[in-house]
Structure 1
Amino acid sequence: MAGTNRAELLSAVSKNDVDSLCLVTEKLFNEKTLEDTIVAFNKRQKTELWDDVLGMCMTTLLDSNNDEAEGSQTLAKMHRVLFCIARLANATLSSLGQLQKDEEEDCPSSKSEGEVPPSLYETAVILHGILPTLKSERTGIKNTMCTLFESWWSLGIPGKEELVANTILCLLERSTQLDAAKTDVVRVMAIREVLLAADLSKESAGPLVNLLLQCSYHPQFMTSPQGTQFLAFLFCLNQDLAQRLHDTIKIHLPSVPVTWGSKYGEIYFRAWQKSSDEQREFLELRCIQDIMHNACRMRMGARGSLWYALFKILSSLHAKKTQRGVLDMLTRLYGPILWRSLMVCNSDVRLSAAHIMFDAFPLQDSALGCQEADKALQKQLDAMHSLLQDPVPAVRVAAVTGVGRVLSIYWELIPPDVIKCFMTTLVEDLVYDITSPSVREAVIKVMHELCGNHLALAFLAQVLPTLANFVHDTSERVRVAMLELLLRLKGVRSIKYFHVVPVEHLLARLEV
């Protein structure tokens, strides 16, 4: 069968008959035997094949120059011929790829067979030049051509640099369509290094840059690992593109899904991690610190707000603190922004900054000595204590919640006298805050959270009984929080709930 197919294909090209070539190619392609047929060709036959195919390709293009309308028979014939030639080229390249694998396995019989016929390269150059001129509805031809050039690039065949400029543009157009698939993103990612040689500052690169910017808010790029890796790669290319990407992300943050905030944080982190020293400094000062500044100075919003999206980006970076250099970077960039924001007159700014500080805690510079590191930690603890005394209830609620989180996670890190100061402020001052039930509720919830830290149980055993009367609080929210705390204590062996609130109080509450 392979010999018959080979004979049919050679006969078609030897006659210089494009119609016969198309018929045979389409038949073999539909039967999925085209590649097997090409594999059976020796080096001389492949060379002769592509010499003839190149001639037919050029003749077809010359004949189409006098075409009058897009729907004419001449143009339709040209598209059919190009489609078949592209399929034939893909099959030839696949066979060469197989031969290259054989060479790697030291198969002597194939060493001289894996070279690309010169006419195949010339044909590929012609197809590459035609690619941008094809209409958008010619998706089959364009996709087949792009597959050819992608294979050329991945196999490292000489001349690959001349066959990818239009390819990356075509693939980006395809991957940014509304009906794009994740496989389109994977294909873009596979030839991303093409962009390293592109001069994106030229005016002629405008369409390419616009497509790259569209990637930063396209669902397929944002919801696939390859897409986020590609965006991180773009941030590393040059400063101008990084700035434009950053500005584009900020513009679209209010309208994109909430979950994308953490994905953008991952993108910024990967870009920062993989960039050169100069590019890293730019990303820190012009991108990451810009997000910090806007998040600290912006009024805190609910889920779905711009502030929340910025906070999710920063929170994603905070979660990377254990990675090398990240904590130092966060400490350095927050320095001129965070502490100033915590002391401004505007309570909205203090509230936003408080949420960020508690999420980022602890901020430490590894270059500091022990005494300087202790001072830096104490500065953060002092800021927390000041927030607990803030005149605005919303800020006090955030401070109480944040201190509870810090104590539950970093109990061992904090000096005992500071812990005692915090707990005293909570259970002797803020829990009796008559101006805000939310503050009282937050204190009770902190006690609930601390029950999960075994190191805090001895301290809680002493202070929880002082909260017994809060089962009778005038605020229903506080009473509910107190009863939830008692339910939590049922799972703690060292503290009995009836030692915190006597049974008589609970029965009295039931009577009410």
Structure 2
Amino acid sequence: MVKKRKTAGSIPSSASDILSSAISISTTSRKLKSTLQTLIHTIPMTSPLISSLPSALNLSISESLDSFKSSHTASDPDASIHLRRLRIYAHISRFCILHPHKCFEPCEIFPSVRLLHDGLLLYQEDSDLMSAVASLCEDWWKEDFPGREDLMPLALPYLLSKSLTNGKKTDVHRVFALREAFCLFDFEDESIQDLKLLLIRCLITPLYLKTDEGKLFIVFLLGLDEQLLREGLALMKSQIVFENKSVLDAYSVVLFRVWKGLDVDDGKGAVMREVIEDGFLQEMIDWAVHERSNSLAMSIRKVLRGFLDQRTTKGVDKLLFRLAQPVLIRSLQVTNSSVRLNALHLLIDMFPLEDPDVTRDAKESLMLKQFFLIDKLLVDDCPIIRAVSVEGTCRILNIFWEIIPPPTVTRMLTTIFKDISRDTSSQVRLSVINGLIFLLGNPHAHEILKRLLPILGFLFLDRVLSVRTAFAELLLTVKDLRAFQYNKIVDLDDLLSSLANEHPSIARKITRLLMSTYFPSQKTISEACNRCIVLIKRSPVAGARFCEFVLLEGSSLKSVTELFGTILKILISAKNLSSEQVDGLFAACTNICTTLCSESSSRRTSVELIFQGKYKSLLSVAASVRSQTSLLNMASVVSPKTVTEFREQCLINLTMKCRGLSENQDLQEGIRTAHKLVFSCGWLNDFLGSIKSILEIAASKFQINRNLPSLRKKTNNKSKLQKKRPNKLGTSTIVDGLLISDVSTFEDDYSLVSAISWQLYDLLISEDTTRKNAILNSISLPMFSALKISSELCIEQHLNAHDISPILAYCSISLNMFRHMAEIADLADSTDVSCKHELPFDKAILSNTLSHLIGCINKVFVEKDSAVGRNPGSNLNQTEKSGRRQRSKCNNPVAEESTAGITSTIQTNNFLKMVATILKFMVEAMTTAGVSERSYLQFAAACTHRVISVLKENENNKFPFNEESSIIIKSLFTYASKLLNLFLSSMDNLLNVPPEVSCLANSLFDLIASFDVYTTKSKHALLTSSVIKEWLPDLVLGVCTEYLTNHHQHNQHPTFSSRPLWLTMLSKVGLHEATIDDGNSSTVMAESDATVLKTIMNMVITLLNKGSQEILGAVIKCFVSHLKIGVERNDCNFVLGLVHFMCVKLLNDNRKVESANDVLKELYLIIETIICRGGNDDDDDERRVYKYLKMSNDILKHVITSNDFS
């Protein structure tokens, strides 16, 4: 056993034994390299193997290479064996040259290494062998052994390629360590073109651009050869357009280091510097100045940043002056604002431009010229240039304050503070503040800025949020400087006012600003709390907002919790507190509660302990809506389950103390808070039960007053009811269990119903699905019927009922109930389980609701039309209508209540809001359930005509047109257009579209024209025209749908009385243009001032020319149908005007409308027949008719006989 161990551990006696042993090891050992290293490094210096192993190794490598070359393919088994042996021989060669005792002579190993290197390209199938040979050559180079130059031609490209593909820092490090070997290559030799491509790839490889050794290697290779430098610079330039910041930063560093590393005394170095300076840098400066894209110009400047940041280096200042000074001085004064802006950026980066070799006077002269240009740019016409000039000026003053003459400093600051700070551009004002924040970094500027900054106090109240935010940041910067006092820049009252009303981001900055005064951490907690209380009492709203951010701005949890307890004690005592202070203290408590309880349950527990037992005391103090809202908020945040004593007060607030809710935002906030508490505490059933009773009682009172059947059960014996004596309870009367107030009026009852309806609507539009479903599951049919009655009353009494919340709630319940029932049905179908909760509503709830609302509105339309002596196609006869009006007067005393103090504008706006709400509901119903009836189109058209009547009243000063009216009309137009769009989209065949579609489309076009006819305030009209463009395709298609079929009977045209208003106005526009040279056209010109219609028609022309020729042909057929009527009526003005518009405007650039050619010819022949009959030449009117008809036919003839129609 001992002998065997010795034999196994002994060194082979001959070189052939070593090589054979190494080959056998490769097939059994996983740690081949470490085993071979041990085997070679244990050979002593005195061993005969030192002299015999190199020759044997050389022979074995030569034999293996020859055998491998003779193999048919590299994938043959024999080839794999030879590659494995070569890999072992490469490892042995490497361990020989790295022997710790340097036993082997490099010159004896070199032939083996040379053979392995020369065969490197043959080892493509064995990456391990290639890596081993490359490592061998790399170690040979590092050891500086003889012949190392012969081992680089193949090893170096391999290592370089590996670093470009593997993406490892170690590979970049290996290439950088061998960088001197690249000097061996002749870069003018075409045979190394592949190597040059690999080197150029380094300039776009992220690993080389991100690592220091990678950038140093790029610097080295660009300095190797002039042609390589040119190609590298060209590649850099091509990469700038991609605007990769890290790449551009790397290029700036590389470019400067290459320039700096070149030896100007060497001829080659001087030439390469010239390539960089007069070639690349000059081109970059020109490009940076003249580039149109601001982002690309900024990227170019980043490449130049390497030189701009190293201006202290010898020669850089002179270089920049020589390259940039002529370009910048000229470009700063050109008319192109983009060029001026780019040149300004460069001037600021390069300031001061100076030649270090000239005299001091020359330098000062050039400096004054630059200041003159900057002063000029401070008042430039372009706002962006002014903004950049301000920030650039402040940057220059900050850096060069000591060397700039005081008069120049004074002049610049005066311009900034007195003029530019009040610039009309918010971007410029923002730049003033940002520049001054930068300037505050120079202590030398503090003395003058201390006197000037108060001038800018008005910017704290600027109308633009970004400006106010920046100024708050300026105040925080000033606060940290001992020489300044921020309250001398902005008055404390202004600070508190902003804190109370500002955006949260600014309010938080103001809180940080005031912390050291009103909640200082250096003082005791008691003192800090007292100061905060003083702030709340001084400005309740601001103090409450201060408490919202005090914890977020670094105050300790202990101090804020103590502040919460202190405020509660003050509230409970309620001594010497005004109502505003009480509101502020409650709001402060709520804000602190929300902040403390939002992050930690332990914080919530501590707050709850402080709050517990104080509910009733606080409730007695909370007299206002705001205080009660804050208290409810606190209760819901701290512990909702412990506030049962709020239940009664909460329900009273929700049901009885909520009148005027739709117009009282404070009350709305309180109601929403109460809703949260209702849901969190499980009071929903009680709440819904209360509002159900109120709605039903109110609806029954409404019906009794209108002499309609009540919701409540009544006796069938009317005589008994009349004889029954009522029971009196205070000021109320009970009849058959129905509570009727003796003193309540319609306004009182309706106001309460409206408030409850608003709550239902607000809950149903919430994004909280759980709450919404809970409401829908609890709504009963009697409650829905009560809302139905209230909505009907709202419509009937639209002159008195100015809150449309009942209609909103009625529509919202219908829509959401339909969706809810559909979801329940889908769930039941998917799970095959019957629904436990059956809802008592019909599936046709949407169509039934719409039919009811349309009927109610139509009644109002009929009454209004009857009042002015016209009836738009109603089926009701005059006897029925007069009977209804009589019943309304006799049986509905509400209608006779005074409307004094309510203007016609408010009444009309209220009615239009009702109509717009119903149209919106109609659109949502069609979108949700696909319900559609022709009566919807009729209703929308009737509503549109009603709006036109309103505008006509505006012309007669009966209805003063205001901003709210415009918004309502715009909304109504949008919903009517959307309705038209839905009908057209639902039609499978446009040839069967009902005529109501065309009627609605014409009505909407009439509405557009009515703005020109009946309104004088163009700003209101423009509010509507901004939304018209979206619906123009639907309007055009709707107008011409009945003319799309070739079977349309053109002889059956509409009557003269049905001519749309918009066609009449359009003909006046065309008539004015056709008779512009006529002496009698002055009146026409006055009538044709149709600004809105002309704008819209230009859009229509563009749309038709880009769209289908079939649609354009249908529009022409529509025009021709109305023109025939005009010809029959001898309305020559209409005929000439519309023909001129149709042929000159509409067909001017698009004449290939073959489908309309026949109707144009027909119209031409009709007019020609009339002209041929002749007339009385002595009659001026008849002579004008024939003249205009002749002009019309001339226009038609030109179109018909054009080549496009031939």
C-alpha displacement of 1:169: 0.5
Q: Distance in 1 between matches of 2:107 and 2:31?
A: 21
Q: Conserved in 1, the CA contact under 8 Å of 2:210 and 2:246?
A: no
Q: Conserved in 1, the CA contact under 8 Å of 2:25 and 2:32?
A: no
| Distance 1:168-1:339 versus aligned 2 partners, 3 A rule | farther
Query: SS of the counterpart of 1:164?
Result: helix
Quick check: 1:275 aligned with 2:276?
no
C-alpha displacement of 1:487: 2.6
Q: Conserved in 2, the CA contact under 8 Å of 1:35 and 1:94?
A: no
C-alpha displacement of 1:449: 2.2
Quick check: 1:470 aligned with 2:488?
no
Equivalences for residues 242-321 of structure 1 within 5 A: 242-255=229-242, 257-277=244-264, 278=270, 279-302=272-295, 306-321=296-311
Q: Distance in 2 between matches of 1:372 and 1:236?
A: 36
| Distance 1:20-1:484 versus aligned 2 partners, 3 A rule | closer
Residue 344 of structure 1 is aligned with which of 334, 338, 342?
334
Match of 1:59 in 2: 63
Listed as ranges, the gaps of 5+ residues in structure 2 are 265-269, 502-1206
1:372-424 per-position Cα deviation (integer Å, ceiling 9, x unaligned): 22223223322322221221111111111111111122211211111111111
Q: Distance in 2 between matches of 1:200 and 1:289?
A: 26
Equivalences for residues 156-235 of structure 1 within 5 A: 156-177=144-165, 179-235=166-222
Match of 1:419 in 2: 409
Q: Conserved in 2, the CA contact under 8 Å of 1:6 and 1:37?
A: no
C-alpha displacement of 1:65: 3.0
Q: Distance in 1 between matches of 2:499 and 2:19?
A: 93
| Distance 1:511-1:159 versus aligned 2 partners, 3 A rule | closer
Q: Distance in 2 between matches of 1:333 and 1:3?
A: 79
Quick check: 1:365 aligned with 2:352?
no
Residue 32 of structure 2 is aligned with which of 30, 33, 56?
30
C-alpha displacement of 1:36: 4.6
| Distance 1:443-1:274 versus aligned 2 partners, 3 A rule | same
The one-letter amino acid paired with 1:490 is K
Listed as ranges, the gaps of 5+ residues in structure 1 are 101-112
Match of 2:135 in 1: 147
C-alpha displacement of 1:85: 1.0
**Percent of aligned positions that are identical:** 28
Q: CA RMSD in A?
A: 2.5
| Distance 1:31-1:193 versus aligned 2 partners, 3 A rule | closer
Q: Distance in 1 between matches of 2:23 and 2:331?
A: 71
Q: Conserved in 2, the CA contact under 8 Å of 1:235 and 1:241?
A: yes
The one-letter amino acid paired with 1:410 is F
Q: Conserved in 2, the CA contact under 8 Å of 1:291 and 1:310?
A: yes
C-alpha displacement of 1:200: 1.6
Quick check: 1:433 aligned with 2:423?
yes
Match of 1:449 in 2: 438
Q: Conserved in 2, the CA contact under 8 Å of 1:132 and 1:170?
A: no
How many residues align structurally?
488
The one-letter amino acid paired with 2:134 is C
Q: Conserved in 2, the CA contact under 8 Å of 1:18 and 1:81?
A: no
Match of 2:513 in 1: none
The one-letter amino acid paired with 2:235 is T
The one-letter amino acid paired with 1:186 is H
Q: Distance in 2 between matches of 1:152 and 1:323?
A: 39
C-alpha displacement of 1:67: 1.4
| Distance 1:93-1:256 versus aligned 2 partners, 3 A rule | farther
Quick check: 1:127 aligned with 2:81?
no
Query: SS of the counterpart of 1:420?
Result: helix
* TM-score normalized by the length of structure 1: 0.88
1:277-306 per-position Cα deviation (integer Å, ceiling 9, x unaligned): 21223222222333222222213434xxx4
C-alpha displacement of 1:216: 0.5
Q: Distance in 2 between matches of 1:33 and 1:21?
A: 9
The one-letter amino acid paired with 1:396 is R
Quick check: 1:77 aligned with 2:81?
yes
| Distance 1:203-1:5 versus aligned 2 partners, 3 A rule | farther
Q: Distance in 2 between matches of 1:20 and 1:33?
A: 11
Match of 2:372 in 1: 382
Match of 2:93 in 1: 89
Q: Distance in 1 between matches of 2:244 and 2:292?
A: 20
| Distance 1:132-1:488 versus aligned 2 partners, 3 A rule | same
C-alpha displacement of 1:322: 2.3
* TM-score normalized by the length of structure 2: 0.39
| Distance 1:315-1:32 versus aligned 2 partners, 3 A rule | same
Query: SS of the counterpart of 1:331?
Result: helix
Q: Distance in 2 between matches of 1:94 and 1:85?
A: 14
| Distance 1:276-1:327 versus aligned 2 partners, 3 A rule | same
| Distance 1:53-1:25 versus aligned 2 partners, 3 A rule | farther
Where relative contact order (Cα < 8 A, 6+ residues apart) is larger, the structure is: 1
1:222-273 per-position Cα deviation (integer Å, ceiling 9, x unaligned): 1111100000011111111011011112223344742222111111111111
Q: Distance in 1 between matches of 2:59 and 2:241?
A: 56
Equivalences for residues 104-119 of structure 1 within 5 A: 113=103, 115-118=105-108
Quick check: 1:481 aligned with 2:466?
no
Residue 42 of structure 1 is aligned with which of 36, 41, 45?
45
Give the stretch that moved more between structures: 231-240 or 334-343.
334-343
The one-letter amino acid paired with 1:87 is H
Q: Distance in 2 between matches of 1:275 and 1:433?
A: 49
| Distance 1:37-1:375 versus aligned 2 partners, 3 A rule | farther
| Distance 1:210-1:467 versus aligned 2 partners, 3 A rule | same
C-alpha displacement of 1:481: 2.6
| Distance 1:5-1:324 versus aligned 2 partners, 3 A rule | farther
| Distance 1:206-1:425 versus aligned 2 partners, 3 A rule | same
Q: Distance in 1 between matches of 2:326 and 2:281?
A: 13
Q: Distance in 2 between matches of 1:117 and 1:36?
A: 23
Q: Distance in 2 between matches of 1:29 and 1:117?
A: 29
C-alpha displacement of 1:218: 0.6
The one-letter amino acid paired with 1:440 is R
C-alpha displacement of 1:447: 2.2
Q: Conserved in 2, the CA contact under 8 Å of 1:6 and 1:38?
A: no
